[in-house]
């Protein structure tokens, strides 16, 4: 039965791609749409680690069971309560958005998981997770996490203009999509601004928060920026198309990677899936939400998306529809070809 497999000792666990998300408050639907986008396009098996408030657990289980078996067989999942291993749980809960700080504790909680992709609930995959998972192999010997820059242009970036604490690089990094080698994180002693010798990840979190809590605006993301400011050799920076946000197009197009290759992972922060400020982002969210699992991807996902995009051409993000469509079109072609090949292969046996 899906969801009852333990993520540690099962043979599938080492072979699957681990994806973690933290859902609190009204984020149930958003999280399910994110998981749906992951399952629609991925090739290898997925292991979902869902951290959720107790009240959301039955809802997650109910909704995931409603998915057709052709998709539920592609993943296993575990749902965990919200827990913080050091410091004051209430303080961590109130840091930035409810429960967001949970992501800082993943290396401590998921002791049997070697590597993991963490994403915010407002993320959508427009290509297989397999493609970002391959980036783990590109880490050099000191790198243990990967994130994208918070901004491409320092003069309009938030950190470069407003931050009152240390941050990574010239624009800081965004923690909404974070690839982590948890084994390396657990085994590393990190340089810090508190004591001359290194501290482990778990030892460092609470003192770091205590030191900087009056200076941080974006909570756990700021703490990660501080950690990688002192340990820049530990971070792999991946390009903006792996964490594409409204900031990349609402001031004019400033993500070259997305212009060339298309958006790989869409991050609808600022609540843009739920208001009318960025209709291009909302269109993608709604089309994936409404897509009936077993339907034809082109007919029931790509074509509706194209027609919705026609209504957004008056907006800055809507002026560049190819940026949003390029990767998803390529991905769907591959999925379609694979299905046709499998179907033809099956028919040739008779």
Superfamily for the 17-238 domain: Spore Coat Polysaccharide Biosynthesis Protein SpsA; Chain A (3.90.550.10)
In the chain, where are the structural domains located? 17-238, 241-345
Strand partners, 173: 149
> DSSP E strands: which ranges in 13-144?
17-23, 46-52, 75-80, 115-119, 123-125
Q: What is the mean pLDDT of the chain?
A: 89
- What is the spatial distance between Cα 320 and Cα 314, in angstroms, rounded to a whole number? 10
Residue 131 has pLDDT above 70, yes or no: yes
Helices marked H in 110-247 — which ranges? 129-133, 158-162, 182-187, 201-212, 220-230
DSSP per-residue codes, 17-30: EEEEEEE-TT-HHH
C-alpha distances (whole Å) from 191 to each of 145, 163, 262 are 15, 21, 37
The answer to whether residues 35 and 46 touch, using CB atoms and an 8 Å cutoff, is: no
* 38-75 pLDDT tens trace: 999 999 999 999 999 999 999 999 999 999 999 999 99
What pTM, to 2 d.p., does this model score? 0.92
pLDDT at residue 8, as a whole number:
35
Query: Where would I find the H helices in 111-155?
Result: 129-133
**DSSP state for residue 218 in the 8-state scheme:** S
Amino acid 1: pLDDT:
35
pLDDT digits (tens, 9 = 90+) for 306-324: 999 999 999 999 999 999 9
Segment 138-156 shows an average pLDDT of 91
The pLDDT tens digits for 219-249 are 788 899 999 999 999 999 999 999 999 999 9
Tell me the mean pLDDT in the region 282-305: 95
Answer whether 89's CB lies under 8 Å from 110's CB: no
Mean per-residue pLDDT, 176-196: 95
Phi, psi dihedrals of residue 302, rounded to the nearest 5°: -70, -45
Q: In this predicted structure, what is the pLDDT of residue 40? A: 95
Q: What is the pLDDT of residue 348?
A: 54
Local confidence band at 97 (pLDDT 50, 70, 90 cut-offs): low
How does residue 91 score in pLDDT terms, banded at 50, 70 and 90?
A: confident
């Amino acid at each position: 039965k899906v969801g009852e497999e333990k993520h540690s000792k099962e043979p599938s666990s080492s072979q699957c791609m681990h994806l973690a998300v933290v859902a609190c408050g009204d984020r149930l639907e958003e999280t399910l749409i994110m998981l749906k986008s992951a399952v629609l396009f991925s090739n290898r098996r997925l292991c979902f680690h869902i951290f959720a408030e107790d009240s959301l657990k039955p809802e997650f289980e109910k909704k995931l069971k409603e998915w057709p078996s052709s998709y539920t067989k592609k993943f296993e999942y575990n749902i965990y309560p919200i827990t913080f291993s050091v410091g004051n749980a209430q303080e961590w809960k109130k840091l930035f958005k409810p429960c967001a700080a949970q992501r800082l504790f993943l290396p401590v909680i998921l002791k049997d998981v070697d590597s993991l992709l963490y994403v915010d609930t407002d993320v959508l995959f427009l290509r297989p997770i397999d493609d970002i998972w391959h980036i783990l192999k590109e880490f050099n010997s000191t790198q243990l996490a990967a994130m994208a820059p918070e901004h491409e242009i320092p003069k309009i970036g938030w950190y470069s203009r407003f931050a009152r604490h240390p941050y990574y690089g010239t624009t800081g990094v965004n923690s909404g999509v974070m690839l982590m080698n948890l084994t390396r994180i657990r085994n590393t002693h990190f340089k810090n601004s508190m004591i001359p010798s290194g501290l482990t990840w778990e030892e460092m979190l609470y003192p770091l928060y205590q030191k900087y809590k009056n200076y941080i605006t974006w909570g756990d993301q700021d703490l990660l920026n501080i950690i990688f400011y002192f340990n820049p050799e530990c971070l792999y920076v991946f390009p903006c198309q792996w964490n594409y946000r409204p900031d990349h197009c609402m001031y004019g197009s400033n993500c070259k990677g997305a212009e060339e290759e298309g958006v790989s992972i869409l991050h609808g922060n600022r609540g843009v899936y739920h208001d009318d400020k960025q209709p291009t982002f909302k269109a993608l969210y709604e089309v994936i939400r409404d897509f009936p699992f077993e339907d034809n991807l082109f007919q029931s996902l790509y074509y509706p998306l194209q027609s919705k995009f026609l209504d957004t051409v008056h907006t800055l993000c809507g002026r560049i529809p190819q940026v949003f469509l390029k990767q998803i079109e390529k991905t769907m072609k591959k999925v379609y070809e694979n299905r046709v090949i499998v179907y033809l292969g099956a028919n040739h046996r008779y």
